Structure 1
């Protein structure tokens, strides 16, 4: 167990990608929401917060705004935008690798207040983004000894996510007969009209059933076959392809991007065997001796080319 968690031959480049990718995706999402953030999340937004207050858990942005109303007066809408700007700034610093643990914790807290504490507009991507932030918090640049166990935990976490997602699909009938897949590509909120090619494929009901079986097998088999060295690339890139299809056909771009990021971090760059620089190189100019050591390949315990992990 100690070797599996702490002495695993996992590469540091995965941590750089996790921090950078998470920061970029969160900043992009917040930038798109910024013009309408007051309308969506403000106390006078399009959704009456009193109606959804019973669905919330913990403290929300609206609760903070109401609690500070006697201090900010008529500037409630500006206060919500100020929180969004702070969120974007912290996400940008995370992407640049300049955000310490305290900053990552603050970003995670704002994300929870803004997205995952009962908002009427939250969905799965907000919780997955919080998951990515949690793993960023668990992998501080000053604690490289935490990186391997955090990556292992992320790997196991993804296995659990896909296994139960596949199990939920397998327990119903709509994924076996293709109905769920057909409905997914015919959602009205992304495409103005179903492309002619997809409409033409609608006559082949067996094709949609086979596609549904493929999704079930891909997700159920993930927890097993992703650990086998020879099958890992095929399973990983099949999952990435599935999420790219979700983005293009259903329009869930942010969700697909977060899932692709977590998969690539956990099962591609974690095993990347090319020469890498330190996770966060020092700003000081190294001496010639230090530079020569810095550029040497990292030696890992065990050979990742032979069998599994």
Structure 2
């Protein structure tokens, strides 16, 4: 009986504590801000009127009409010069990121920033990859979550945050499972070809030199199999108390490897943030877990 009471109290600590939301909001705001700053100097040649890939080609590739960065800049040019319009767009983007980080009307800020961020993605669809789409989803969750909680008068001791934690847990579990399932349908991950191709990208050797692995194809096969195992079995082992810590460590280790080996800083950082948000906070306060 006492054990059941303690278990209920433990669950209450987990799901009535909004720290994971605070961590998620601040971390995502920082990553999106750093990502935007990384292409600040090249913004015009990537997404502006002087883009190396004309916006018409992007629209033809997408097949659907979206409000793009170019559309926003054309609207601003009715009242300002082109350079001023670009500066206003960039300044607004940065300001909204800062508002999210500080928790100043973070849900409204996330809503506006989501609109701007999607316009950037749709303006340069050829430059977009997983990080951009997870940034969009992250902003949606900041809108969905009570992310202003630390700056409101709500009583966090009586509010249940279960749905918010469960939502991101389910999202991660489905994402990893189907990512792994998609990989096992082909042969590229079974024989290590995908790892080999990724490791021979032009920017691969920036941090670490692994040319010696060329003579050891078994290493690529092992890395491919490890990736498959971590992703396919993620929904199972991450949700079992005894294996949660191990699988969280393996998953974060996989993404750290992506940063070190493939230089995909922002994608890997967002995935690490999602994993910590969903499965780290409150779970490891108790030595029993």
TM-score w.r.t. structure 1 length? 0.79
Question: Shift in Å at residue 189 of structure 1?
Answer: 3.2
C-alpha contact (below 8 Å) 2:25/2:100 kept by paired residues: yes
Residue equivalent to 2:42:
36
User: Which residues in structure 2 correspond to 1:114-193 (within 5 Å)?
Assistant: 114-116=120-122, 119-140=125-146, 141=149, 142=152, 145=159, 147-191=161-205
2:127 counterpart SS class: coil
Q: Would you say the 8 A contact 1:139–1:146 is kept in 2?
A: no
Name the residue aligned to 1:15.
21
Equivalent-residue separation in structure 1 for 2:141 and 2:204 (angstroms): 31
Contact 2:13 2:282 in 1 (8 A): no
Give structure 2 stretches of 5+ with no counterpart: 1-7
| Match in the other structure for 2:269 | 257
Matches of 2:254 and 2:194, distance apart in 1: 15
Shift in Å, 1:117: 6.2
CA distance in 1, matches of 2:201, 2:253: 20
Match of 1:212 among 216, 224, 233: 224
Residues 104 and 133, structure 1, Cα contact 8 Å, conserved in 2: yes
Give SS of 2:14's match.
Answer: coil
Q: Give the corresponding residue for 1:64.
A: 72
Q: 2:99 aligns with which of 90, 93, 96?
A: 93
Please give the alpha-carbon distance, in whole angstroms, between the structure 2 residues aligned to 1:125 and 1:193: 20
Note the aligned Cα RMSD (angstroms).
2.5
Confirm or deny: 8 A CA contact 2:259 2:268 kept in the other structure. Answer: yes
Equivalent residue in structure 1 for 2:89, among 83, 86, 96: 83
How far did 1:98 drift?
Answer: 2.2
Residue 166 of structure 1 contacts residue 220 of structure 1 at CA under 8 Å; is this kept in 2? yes
3-state SS in 2 of match to 1:256: helix
After superposition, the C-alpha distances for 1:155-178 in whole angstroms (9 at most, x for unaligned) are 000011100110111111011111
CA distance in 1, matches of 2:218, 2:190: 10
Query: What is the rounded CA distance, in whole Å, between the counterparts of 1:18 and 1:116 in structure 2?
Result: 25
- Alpha-carbon distance in 1 for matches of 2:222, 2:185: 16
Q: Which runs of 5+ in 1 are unaligned?
A: 275-303
Instruction: Give the drift of 1:54.
Output: 1.8
Distance across 2 between alignment mates of 1:123 and 1:31: 17
Please report how far the alpha carbon of residue 7 of structure 1 lies from its aligned counterpart in structure 2 after TM superposition: 7.0
SS of the residue corresponding to residue 129 of structure 1 reads helix
Pick the structure with more helix per residue. 2
How far residue 150 of structure 1 moved from its aligned partner, in angstroms, is 1.6
Partner of 2:247: 235
Question: Which deviations, in whole Å up to 9, do the C-alpha atoms of 1:227-252 show, x marking residues without a partner?
Answer: 00110011011110110111111110
Cα 1:217–1:53 change in 2 (3 A) is: same
Indicate conservation of the 8 Å contact 1:151/1:270, yes or no.
no
The DSSP-based 3-state class of the residue aligned with 1:34 is coil
Q: Distance in 1 between matches of 2:284 and 2:85?
A: 44
Relative to structure 1, the CA distance from residue 68 to residue 127 in structure 2 (aligned partners, 3 Å threshold; closer, same or farther) is: same
